[in-house]
Chains A and B, each alone.
Chain A
């Protein structure tokens, strides 16, 4: 009741005095609220500054924002796109109504560099607003503004290498599919081929035709948007999970008689092969489906699911290009046949080539995935540097020891397994994994996969190849990869 007594005493004072004390008292609360609001507004302002300075550049490069790009293009000549070796990949020529976007390499960079019109694709889209910003000296820009001359947009330096791109493009020949090469230590995308392709110089005239061609979908960049069954390349993931559960891999043994039956599913080896007595290394090297079905049947599904998530299945990829998410159905509740199918890369699992390249790059780079990048620097039209992008680590996908064991397995593929066509390289050695992914009822048809890296002792570059319907990975995809590696190491 002390409270009440105090109140009584309070009323005993003169009204004015009490009001004044009261006032002082209440202002404390008002002060607190004022400060809370000031802090909230400062935080809001900080957010806006942060967004404008650091996030807006990548955010605004969106096809839904193309109207603003058009408006900028009225005042700025779209800048150049240049390769890592200094060649012009795209530039604007002519002026006024004659202004056209020219791609000197034609269809070679059709998907990687892309095209600027029709909403934009490739680097043209990724760097859309950078190309339309001028960082020329201010006096020059003002002079141009005053004279009503368009200013020159900035030049974008890519990580793409014309020599490597050409090698990949030629080696891939008339196949449908994709080739992608990544520098495993920096994440730089060195080459990216997708076929069928088109000549971006003629995009306006070809647009309707290319768009309507649903059978070949030439406009789709298969390297990042193509979802394929991974086939035996998925055994990298299954092997990783096995290694995690059994760090001593020498304990594994299996006798392959051509097929493996577990509960009510039977898995057969590719083209009816019988591999005989195997350990983990030879199971992997010879890509034995029966052995890997056996391995999968023993794996902890919950942990397998976690490993897949860590390798970015069913989730976002750090891809500068627009991409599709890979999917795999392994979890607590999935049925045994589904899991076993997934474990050998068949069933409903789907991956994009760039995703497979990222996994391979992480294996090669001691378990760490460097964030893939395609733009390395921005310069103004006169060549003065504006900005450089340094390589950044994206995530550790596996431990150093796990990656070492996987590298050993992948090396064995070339030494004694399905990757034998990659033997005898000049001055460097390749490691990798082949895949022959069945994609229809007709079991004789398969997509040919190869994903690998080189040199084995100090990996620099990862290459992933997918050739649609081209048969076995070892026969069709590995030789393409070899030519890409050769081109890189003969430089």
Chain B
């Protein structure tokens, strides 16, 4: 039997502490979402729901009309992520595989776009969307969310395509495949895991977006899930029950995606750098 070392015990205790710190707020949210109001607003809150109830979830749907927001977020995120990856895949292929003048500058500008913060662009983009007459319209979000997802997807896919061996493509070319055919019929199918992961993460970026939605959407029918949640904060009375229930609902799809995907995908931007 292996001797149990003191350092291992200490590290395990440290790990336990880190897990508790990481999960406590999440647990508190979950805990609150299943409590009755009298328990939520008690000066001495309970560590677990004494009378577990799904009332907050029911309120969320019935009183707060949460389902349309859920659909709006899904609709926008789906269209933007699929669309962005579709056009970024071609660009990513070109950056990874082809030589052309201006390549360095263009690929740098993609990275600059990725790192360009939203707090700089939100007013100009608000003006742009207003000019197009797309304020208070999901189309307004659909046209500007790619400013987040396209640079991300292009960057990710460029480094992903680089990992696919050149020899496979050369073989296809010898077999008489043209560039375009070998890209679509040989490289893209091989890149399926990368394409899928990028789409999924582009989806989560849109799903979690708040700042652009805040300035562009005001009508309740076009609200996304983040707006619907933040809206429950306004005013003096905090609807903690439904708000925490909504937080759980908004988090579950994202959490599932991360848990199913492999560890590499979580790292997002740095994946290309640390390999």
Q: Do A and B bind each other?
A: no
* Interface of B toward A, CB cutoff 8 Å: none
